[in-house]
């Protein structure tokens, strides 16, 4: 195939030194370490913006904050003339799907992806009643346990999950991504975006001074 498959794995703003391969003595990231060992690792890469919503907007548009106009976490719609990364892939014949957290406005906005499965961590914007992850938990009778630890999304740090391991958001995200691979048209290449809530990325954000 002359067009390679592309999988983009993002996390909710982890620093680059939160990786075992970077020598972190506490955080274990064996799968990401394996990707680093067998691929190309950029040790001097910096995020365009260390704040999550504008950083994702930069990633999806290829524009820096001065161009797309967002520097803090706000619920602003994208400009109508935006060409998205996933849309550019689609124009070249790629199949596209995003799985996980998008945190866009409006909340079901796809940023150029053909298909999106959401885990918005309890956010309710613009009339969204349930996201796809919550609907999955409802089907398994587990939605009432999602916030049993009593903490909001941005307060989750090193706490035990309140769900069985096979039903936590990371496992759901990985399974849905694999199902997309199995269902896709095998004659066309794919890019897919996977957002993991508790993992580590291989890019450094500038440290506060």
Domain ranges of the chain: 6-146+168-196
The pLDDT, as a whole number, for residue 209 is 32
C-alpha span between 129 and 125 (Å, rounded): 9
The Cα 205–Cα 83 span in angstroms is: 25
Q: Which of 146-150, 170-174, 203-207 has the lowest mean pLDDT?
A: 203-207
pLDDT of residue 184: 86
From 14, 68, 103, 195, the catalytic residue: 103
- Tokens found for residue 8: 């983009």
Q: Label residue 153 by pLDDT band (50, 70, 90).
A: low
Could you check whether the bond before residue 89 is cis, i.e. omega within 30 degrees of 0? Answer: no
In this structure, the chain runs to a length of: 209
- Asked if 197 and 121 count as a contact pair (C-beta separation under 8 A), the reply is yes
CB 178 within 8 A of CB 206: no
Q: Which residue has the higher pLDDT, 208 or 88?
A: 88
> Rounded mean pLDDT of 164-185?
91
The CA-based dihedral angle spanning residues 10, 2, 62, 11, taken in that order and rounded to the nearest 10 degrees? 0
Instruction: Indicate if 103 belongs to the active site.
Output: yes
Domain 6-146+168-196 -> CATH class: alpha beta
Q: Is the pLDDT of residue 208 over 50?
A: no
CB 146 within 8 A of CB 137: yes
Q: Which residues pair with 10 in a beta bridge?
A: 195
| Tokens (6 digits) for 158 | 């090193």
How do residues 94-117 score in pLDDT, each as one tens digit?
Answer: 999 999 988 888 888 899 999 999
Question: How far is it, in rounded angstroms, from Cα 170 to Cα 161?
Answer: 11
Catalytic residue flag (residue 52): yes
Edge-first strand order for the sheet with 191-196 is 6-11, 191-196, 97-100, 115-118
Mean pLDDT rounded to a whole number for the chain: 82
Q: Distance (Å, rounded) from C-alpha 209 to C-alpha 197?
A: 26
DSSP string covering 56-125:
HHHHHHS--HHHH---SS--PPPPTTPPPHHHHHHHTT---EEEE----SSTT--TT-SEEEE--TT---
The candidate with the shortest Cα–Cα distance to 113, out of 53, 154, 187, 56, is 56
């Amino acid at each position: 195939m002359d067009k390679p498959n592309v999988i983009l794995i993002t996390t909710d703003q982890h620093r680059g030194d939160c990786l075992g391969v970077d020598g972190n003595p506490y955080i274990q990231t064996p799968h990401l370490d394996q990707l680093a060992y067998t691929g190309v690792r950029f040790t001097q890469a910096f995020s365009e913006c260390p704040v999550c919503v504008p950083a994702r907007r930069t990633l999806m548009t290829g524009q820096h904050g001065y161009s797309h106009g967002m520097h803090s976490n706000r619920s602003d719609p994208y400009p109508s003339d935006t060409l998205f990364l996933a849309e550019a892939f689609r124009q070249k014949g790629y199949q596209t799907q995003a799985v996980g957290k998008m945190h866009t406005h409006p909340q079901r906005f796809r940023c150029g992806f053909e298909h999106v499965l959401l885990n918005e961590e309890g956010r309710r914007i613009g009339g969204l009643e349930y996201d796809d992850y919550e609907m999955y938990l409802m089907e398994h009778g587990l939605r009432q346990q999602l916030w049993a630890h009593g903490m909001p999304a941005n307060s989750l740090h090193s706490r035990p999950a309140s769900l069985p391991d096979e039903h936590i958001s990371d496992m759901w995200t990985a399974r849905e991504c694999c199902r997309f691979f199995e269902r896709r048209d095998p004659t066309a290449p794919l890019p897919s975006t996977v957002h993991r809530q508790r993992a580590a990325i291989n890019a450094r954000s500038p440290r506060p001074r």
